[in-house]
Amino acid sequence: MKRFAFCLMLLFTSNLKTEENFLTLKEVVDYALKNNPQISILNRDLSIENLNILQAKSNKFPNLNLQSNLYRFKYASPITPISATPIGIVFPDFDKEIFETGIQFQIPLYKGGNLNLNVSLSELKKDISEIKLNMGKEDLIFNIISCYLKILQMEELKKVTEAYVLQMDAHKKKVEDFYNAGVAPKIDLIKAEVELSNSKYEDLILKNNLKNSYEVLKVLMGMENFYENIKISPEVNIQEEDLNLEISIDYALNKRLDYQNLLKKINYMEEKIRFEKGKALPIVSLSSEYFLRTGSEFDFEDNWFFALRFYFPLFDGGFLKREILKGQEELKKLKEEERALRLKIYYEIKEAILNIESSKERLKVQEKAVEEAKENLKLEILKYDTGEGTTTDVIDAQAKLLREEANYWQSYYDYKLSLFAFKKAIGKKIEEELINLEER
């Protein structure tokens, strides 16, 4: 029975390791947004800020408390105050043990405007947290796209290297036949064998790197089933944007999340300075109590009061003034950060445009280079077969074709990535872009 269970476990594990899911870029992104732990953390932060808003609003509402106290005095104390009536003065009962219970009521009327400002600050912090969440999503999506495209590039390179291994193997067999026939020298066979070994080694390295890239993608997706194999769809559609620099900068200043986040921080600091200034203003509140008191005889007497309380800070050693000055310095710092970010946005957009243009040009050049390398290889193989060429020329031609095809796929996916990088630079929501492209 134990042996049977063990066999079932091995079979189940084997199925896990060989199962493959082919996923589109949109499916990978959707999975990551639901399962990536960093996104979950940012979602929790947003939930906390929503609760902070409710907490800030609750400070504007009345407080109602039930309170009970039990006192024991050294000397007998009055249960209720001495009172005067038209008949005369009424002296209360005295006791060393006094118990009281009652209801307290308090409502803030004015706190220097800070009741409303506290709510505004909480709402601004929630907005900042929400922007951070969206920034986290956009960064995650772009990292996934970068990894996704790198995997596709390596998948194409794997085909190229596998073809190169086959070519080198065929060439080595041809050289071996020529050597056995006494047409080719021993050194040609050695060169072919060495190049075949090198090609197999390069192919193995590439396949290992490809596996590692898939593991990185699974981590970005938040996959916890480490034995599950995934495969990705080679189709990555993307629409090229208008590359006008002035229009792109204006769009970015309205849409980029990091810039909007900084503007929110500036707004928050301005409100915080107002909040600190409000602490120097009076505080007015209304309070009342209704309570019952009794001594050891449990003969309860009631009493109540209403109070309008006024509080005004006179001196705090300069603490509040320094808090305001510190806030003003923080505000100046944030405004300098805003200026620095505007310059950075300008540079990133210009760089993104240049990358698109240069990658397009490189792609055109590489297309032509691959065709020329293919023709050159055919020619060298023909020359070798007719005895006019050398094995070194064939190996060099095959290596050149491998190099040019690798450069082509590098340029191809650099171009794809540069289009996504431009969208990120101008603040376009890549998630929405992926949805729109899939619907087309």
The reply to whether 301 falls in a domain is no
pLDDT tens digits, one per residue of 170-216: 988 988 888 888 888 889 889 889 999 999 999 999 999 999 999 99
The reply to whether 6 falls in a domain is no
Q: Which CATH number characterizes residue 157's domain?
A: 1.20.1600.10
Residue among 90, 409, 31 at smallest CA distance from 232: 31
Range of the structural domain that residue 52 is part of? 23-64+112-283+338-439
Q: How many residues does the chain have?
A: 440
Query: What pLDDT is recorded for position 203?
Result: 92
pLDDT tens digits, one per residue of 381-401: 998 888 888 888 899 999 999
- Cα–Cα distances in angstroms (integers) from residue 193 to residues 170, 383, 392, in the given order: 11, 20, 12
Residue among 435, 346, 429, 351 at smallest CA distance from 139: 429
Residue among 352, 387, 417, 305 at smallest CA distance from 80: 305
The reply to whether 95 falls in a domain is no
> Is the Cα torsion angle 250, 256, 262, 266 positive or negative in sign?
positive
Assess whether pLDDT exceeds 60 at residue 2: no
Distance CA 57, CA 53 (A): 6
* Number of domains forming the structure of the chain: 1
Residue 382 C-alpha from the chain's centroid: 56
Average pLDDT of the chain?
A: 88
pLDDT tens digits, one per residue of 339-372: 999 999 999 999 999 999 999 999 999 999 999 9
Q: Which residue has tokens 């909007």?
A: 260
Assess whether pLDDT exceeds 50 at residue 42: yes
- Of 58-67, 287-296, 306-315, 427-436, give the lowest mean pLDDT range: 427-436
Neighbours of 197 (CB within 10 A): 12
Report helix, strand or coil for 77: strand
**In which region does residue 332 sit, left (phi positive, over 0), alpha (psi from -120 to 50) or beta (all else)?**
alpha
- Cα–Cα distances in angstroms (integers) from residue 430 to residues 26, 84, 147, 214, 419, in the given order: 10, 80, 15, 21, 11
Query: What pLDDT is recorded for position 224?
Result: 84
List 308's β-bridge partners, or say none: 286
Share of the chain above pLDDT 90, in %: 60
Query: What pLDDT is recorded for position 230?
Result: 87
The reply to whether 294 falls in a domain is no
The reply to whether 292 falls in a domain is no
The reply to whether 72 falls in a domain is no
Query: What pLDDT is recorded for position 5?
Result: 42
Distance CA 356, CA 244 (A): 12
- Mean pLDDT (whole number) for 95-113: 90
List 285's β-bridge partners, or say none: 108, 309
Assess whether pLDDT exceeds 80 at residue 4: no
The reply to whether 267 falls in a domain is yes
- Of 22-26, 99-103, 188-192, 432-436, give the lowest mean pLDDT range: 432-436
Query: What pLDDT is recorded for position 17?
Result: 41
List 77's β-bridge partners, or say none: 95
Residue among 337, 323, 328 at smallest CA distance from 263: 337
Distance CA 138, CA 431 (A): 7
Residue among 135, 159, 355 at smallest CA distance from 264: 135
Query: What pLDDT is recorded for position 237?
Result: 77
pTM over 0.75: yes
The reply to whether 327 falls in a domain is no
